[in-house]
Amino acid sequence: MPDHKPWLVLQGRPGEFYVDHVHPFGASSASSNAGMISNAAVDIWSRKGVGPIVKYEDDITVLRYPKTTSSFTSQGFFYTYDKSLVIHIVSPLHIPWHPEKGTPEFISVFAYIGLQWDFNLKRVSLPEEKRQKHLGRVRSFITQYQRGKCTLLEVQKIHGSLCYISFVYCDGRSRLPSISNFSMRFDRSNSSQALYPPRSMISDLRWWLRRLEDPNIYRDLTPLGPPCDPGFYVDASTSWGIGIILGSSWMAFRLLPNWKDADGPPSRDICWLETVAVEILALILERCNISNARIVIHSDNQGTIGALNKGRSPNYHINMSVRRIFVTFSSIMVAPVMEYIPSSDNPADPISRGELGPSSSRLQAAFQLPLELSKALSYILRPPGPSSSRIDKWSTPFSRSTRATQELLLPSNVLDQIHDTLISSFAPSTRTVYGAGILRFIEYCDTLGISEEDRMPASSLLITAFVSSAAGFYSGSTINTWLSGIRAWHIVNYAPWHGDCASVHMARTTAHKKGSAFQKPKRAPVTLDHLLTLRSQLDLSLSFHAAIWAAVLTAFFGCRRLGEIIVSNGKSFSPTYHITQGATIAFKSLPNNSVVASFHIPWTKTTKQNGAKVILTSRNDILCPVVALQNHLRINKGAPTSKALFAYESSPGQWTHLTKADLMFFVANIWSASSLSAVLGHSFRIGGTVVLLLSGVPPDVVAATGGWTSMAFLTYWRRIEDIVSLSTSNAYSSSDIATLNSVFSNFRPVS
């Protein structure tokens, strides 16, 4: 090989060399023949003052600006050249212009590199024939390969097409990694290899299909102006969470323990976390109504910057975050300009490691984290969790400040013990109901933009406003329950409560009046017909049936809430609240040959930890609660003493708590099939009360049976006209009537 020849040699596989001897000029491919001619034309035009010019190989578009020395006329601007002059300048080259493409005059809507550009509307789109072409290619791939194998060549074709048009369909960039990731699974040495496309790829192609079916998609090219730098910084650390700086304000989000594998494939890493920081910033900007701008965002993670600049990532989680970021920014017309900043200079760095800024500069921006993020992150003041956890876990600047002061007086473990003691004073069901009220209050404050500092202690004005906002939309009792939850939340955090003032009481009165339409109808009672129908469908030799029958009659004739004798769900069982198999049950015979069964339940809604005694009296019929209880204890005698009283053997040697949900589901199916009225768990207590009163049991005895100590007992009376009439008639015995007649006789006038 002569030394003077500037040939370019490239090595491929070991022992294979490729020599470029046609037009070698470096490590870059030479242009085509048509491209070289086009380059010559561009050089000539540029020297003659024609431009700007955009060119790709043989696709040339010459543009022009109006003359700056001439004024605007009714016919338009003055220009230095027209199309005929442009062609004349390069006519000596004898360029073979395409007979169909191009236009004889300058126009504002034209095609270039396969796209349609509209200067007047400042947009770019796919020409109709191109849209139909790519639509057909996507549809054909889905039809052929959604249930069949495809080759690498087919994947590369569809991937190349979609990469090309993603310039217009920018939101489709995050729909490309599933295709490129799939292509990496092929063996490049086996061109005939065929593989099944993954479901994620087919799903993304269906998205492309829907987008390409719409002929009105375009990319807006309206300039957003120069980038502005308002001081937005993001950072993340795997040891604590995410920190965000917005000018002089900050926000922080704490990682949950299982953040790496909380959702989807286990590929979450620091780069994903840094990308999520940008996603949260996008949500904040959306909530703050920032729009139509190019905004600089500083990050110290090059992987995040690269993914956002490309609009996609091969990492599943990062790609999904990029997709959501694009949707958010597109909706508010914000173009992010990512800039790298060293970690040492990033003001968000200490925030991301838990070194929070002053509470006065914490940003108050209410927004909902996407479901995917809520499984990995929590807002530092309100971690996610069940409703019952809010009174315990949700904090405010006041509660945190109070805790810091308390730690100067007592050790943290002692304070934790005190806090747990206070929280334990509320039954689990109460904590759940109270949590709903706390959530409603926080949502209301978010809507008004109330600062965290002003939410606790809540002023009387804020509480009154909260009640007023709900009046007429919810029942008065519901609003009162919400207030009870907010009050309890204040108490356990040592915050003063301002909800007992006159303005709040007046607002509550109005809420009761306006909310009367939202009051729930009175619960229908369980009747004797319900019980007889249920009994006809039971085999009391079966463990589950025996437990069901005993629990139903205990709740009915003991006038007890269902939740006081059985557990709400399998996870809620606690000996603190539920009677166990090991409890003492006393059976006592009375002089009239009746048998009384009694036992102590550890917790009731009204007596709390003092519990109450359940008393059941035998009956001379098949509805005898004492016989039902004895049968249950005999059939299920093998249950461990640590299990709930009404546990049953679900499989040999496997004992299961009878739950409220299981019981209600079982009996509801039987009663519905017999066209009996639908009932709720509280209906057993109501039905038992009515039956005992109609049987002539004195009201005070019934009240004692059900554990009532106030006139609230009257709210459970159904068929009150029958109960009052019966009690009144029983009060007037024959001797009483005779005595009364004698008294009236003494007042008759003497004739």
Non-local CB neighbours of 231 within 8 Å, separated by 6+ positions: 245, 246, 247, 248
Q: Is the dihedral of CA 686, 689, 694, 698 positive or negative?
A: negative
Which run of H or E residues covers position 493? Answer: none
Per-residue confidence (pLDDT) for residue 737, from 0 to 100: 43
CB 423 within 8 A of CB 392: yes
DSSP-derived letter for residue 334 is E
Instruction: Report which of 155, 205, 209 is spatially closest to residue 180, judged by C-alpha positions.
Output: 155
Per-residue confidence (pLDDT) for residue 712, from 0 to 100: 59
Instruction: Report which of 138, 119, 125 is spatially closest to residue 207, judged by C-alpha positions.
Output: 138
* 3 state DSSP class of 93: helix
Domain parsing of the chain, residue ranges: 33-107, 128-220, 235-379, 387-518, 528-719
CB 153 within 8 A of CB 298: no
CB 293 within 8 A of CB 224: yes
Q: Locate 337 and state its tokens.
A: 């300009």
Architecture of domain 235-379 in this structure? 2-Layer Sandwich (3.30)
Q: Locate 552 and state its tokens.
A: 């139903």
| Measured distance CA(64)–CA(79) in Å, rounded | 7
Per-residue confidence (pLDDT) for residue 79, from 0 to 100: 87
In total, the chain counts a number of residues equal to 751
| Measured distance CA(637)–CA(62) in Å, rounded | 95
| Measured distance CA(594)–CA(591) in Å, rounded | 7
- Between the alpha carbon of residue 679 and those of residues 117, 119, 491, 535, the distances in Å are 67, 69, 36, 17
Q: Is the dihedral of CA 577, 583, 588, 593 positive or negative?
A: positive
* 3 state DSSP class of 630: helix
Multiple choice CATH, 387-518, 1.10.10, 2.60.40, 1.10.150, 1.10.3470: 1.10.150
CB 653 within 8 A of CB 636: no
| Measured distance CA(574)–CA(628) in Å, rounded | 24
Provide the CB-side half-sphere exposure for 429 (13 A, CA): 14
* 3 state DSSP class of 345: helix
Instruction: Report which of 141, 142, 170, 163 is spatially closest to residue 153, judged by C-alpha positions.
Output: 141
Which run of H or E residues covers position 86? Answer: helix 83-89
| Measured distance CA(217)–CA(132) in Å, rounded | 13
Which residues of the chain fall short of a pLDDT of 70? 1-7, 21-30, 70-75, 262-267, 359-360, 364-368, 384, 518-523, 709-751
- Between the alpha carbon of residue 649 and those of residues 12, 51, 629, the distances in Å are 72, 88, 16
| Measured distance CA(561)–CA(483) in Å, rounded | 24
- Between the alpha carbon of residue 70 and those of residues 10, 67, 476, the distances in Å are 56, 6, 76
* 3 state DSSP class of 734: helix
| Measured distance CA(253)–CA(113) in Å, rounded | 45
CB 626 within 8 A of CB 617: yes
CB 660 within 8 A of CB 566: yes
Query: What's the per-residue H, E or C state across 386-430?
Result: CHHHHHHHCCCHHHHHHHHHHCCCCCHHHHHHHHHHHHHCCCHHH
Provide the CB-side half-sphere exposure for 114 (13 A, CA): 14
- The one-letter amino acid code at 186 reads F
Q: Locate 347 and state its tokens.
A: 């003001």
- What are the strands, taking DSSP E only, across 45-192? 53-56, 59-62, 109-112, 115-118, 123-125, 150-151
Farthest-apart Cα atoms in the chain, separation: 159
Q: Locate 736 and state its tokens.
A: 């009483």
CATH number of 528-719: 1.10.443.10
Non-local CB neighbours of 239 within 8 Å, separated by 6+ positions: 353, 354
DSSP-derived letter for residue 646 is T
CB 608 within 8 A of CB 709: no
Q: How do 293-299 and 334-340 pair as beta strands?
A: parallel
Provide the CB-side half-sphere exposure for 10 (13 A, CA): 9
| Measured distance CA(59)–CA(46) in Å, rounded | 17
Query: Exposed, middle or buried, 627 (CB in 10 Å: 0-12/13-18/19+)?
Result: buried
CB 682 within 8 A of CB 670: no
- What are the strands, taking DSSP E only, across 193-319? 194-195, 219-220, 228-236, 241-246, 249-255, 293-299
- The one-letter amino acid code at 339 reads E
Question: Which residues face 597 on adjacent strands?
Answer: 587, 616
Q: DSSP alpha helices (H): ranges in 521-604?
A: 528-536, 543-557, 562-565
589-641 tens-digit pLDDT:
999 889 999 999 998 887 878 899 999 999 999 999 999 999 999 999 999 99
268-306 tens-digit pLDDT:
889 999 999 999 999 999 888 888 889 999 999 999 999
DSSP-derived letter for residue 9 is E
| Measured distance CA(28)–CA(19) in Å, rounded | 13
| Measured distance CA(296)–CA(306) in Å, rounded | 15
Q: Is the dihedral of CA 193, 198, 204, 209 positive or negative?
A: positive
